[in-house]
Homo-oligomer: A and B are copies of this chain.
Amino acid sequence: MKIECNLELDENLARTLSESVAPCEIVRGPNRSLTPDIEIAFGQPEIAIIDKLDGLRWIHLTSAGYTRYDTPEFRATAARRGLALTNSSSVYASPCAEHLFAFMLAQSRRLPEALRTRVAGGTPEWNRLRGLSTSLAGEQVVMLGLGAIALRLIELLAPFQMRIVGLRRKRIGNEPVPVITPPELPAALATAGHVINILPDNAGSRNFVDAKFFNSMKRGAVFYNIGRGATVVQEALADALRRGQLAAAWLDVTDPEPLPPGHPLLSAPNCFITPHTGGGHRNEAETLVRHFLDNFYRYQDGLPFLGRVM
């Protein structure tokens, strides 16, 4: 059995991977031969090679997103061939949740403004800035999506006793917070101070957050995005910021990334953008390999996969 891998690894990590899967063989590099004994693809395999790998049984992605596999054609192929698709969302869940949490606290403590303000205590400017600074405790939150990032964020926010609801297409029943479904969304948006977008990019989510959505939000609320840029109508977001309908937006994802010069979001007031660094963390490659190996042993033992999306 062979494993095709196109994840870039340093020498140590490549050796760890090879030794951990032995006697299976890791097939790497541009001149690798795509033979029928390749059963597993690990990394970001091109859709095209899948047709060439008749023996392929399982694809393990190093990303959380799997948009390009999320097509009717691929789903049909996967179902016909009994091909499993797993992702690495759990690897990114905690760093992404912490990144979003950093956004929330930076906003509530007004860090961007405070870090460039040098004023003496008691001055009007000081009183204004101090009065704008707030506590997250007890505030209302709407989360769009209740996946791994949301679940970790809910854990992290617990000591703040925020009032959190999560949007899902339908309730599963095991959610740690009250669930709302799309018809209940406008009412929830009308009272929440924080709206957190964690939607993946797919046909159902694209442009989900539009002008109507922003107008349903409480005036002066804050919008955060750690999901995917394509789920937001960005011109509508820039407009909502310019009108003061939103107090601020904190985005780790945009469409495209980075935004081109002159994009309306770049000049919108109180729009704070990080370049999709939310999932990053020291030892990221090592964590990805460890997560793959967890699933590899499960595969060998016939146990259910972690993070199976198809």
Q: Is A45 an interface residue (CB 8 A)?
A: no
Q: Is A2 an interface residue (CB 8 A)?
A: no
Alpha-carbon gap, A95 to B136, bound state (A): 9
Q: Write out, one digit per residue, whether chain A residues 125-161 have a CB within 8 A of any chain B CB (1) or not (0).
A: 0100111111111000000000000000001101110
Q: Is A280 an interface residue (CB 8 A)?
A: yes
Assess the A134–B282 pair: CB atoms within 8 A: yes
Seed contacts A109-B274, A114-B275; 17 additional CB < 8 Å A-B pairs: A94-B135, A94-B137, A95-B134, A98-B108, A98-B109, A98-B136, A101-B105, A102-B105, A102-B106, A109-B277, A111-B111, A114-B274, A115-B272, A117-B275, A118-B259, A129-B275, A132-B280
Count of identical protomers in the assembly: 2
**In the complex where A102-B111, A108-B102 touch, is A119 in contact with B275 (Cβ < 8 A)?**
yes
Q: Is A121 an interface residue (CB 8 A)?
A: yes
Size bracket of the A interface? 35 or more
Assess the A257–B111 pair: CB atoms within 8 A: no
* Nearest CB of chain B from residue A271's CB, rounded to whole Å: 10
**In the complex where A108-B102, A112-B115, A258-B120 touch, is A131 in contact with B275 (Cβ < 8 A)?**
no
Alpha-carbon gap, A282 to B132, bound state (A): 6
Indicate which residue in B117, B135, B274 contacts A98 across the interface (CB closer than 8 Å): B135
Q: Is A70 an interface residue (CB 8 A)?
A: no
Assess the B284–A130 pair: CB atoms within 8 A: yes
**In the complex where A109-B98, A135-B98, A258-B120 touch, is A277 in contact with B129 (Cβ < 8 A)?**
yes
Residues of B within 8 A of A272 (CB): 115
Alpha-carbon gap, A27 to B81, bound state (A): 84
**In the complex where A159-B158, A282-B134 touch, is A277 in contact with B98 (Cβ < 8 A)?**
no
> Closest 7 A-B residue pairs measured CB to CB?
A130-B280, A102-B105, A114-B274, A118-B258, A133-B280, A102-B109, A130-B277
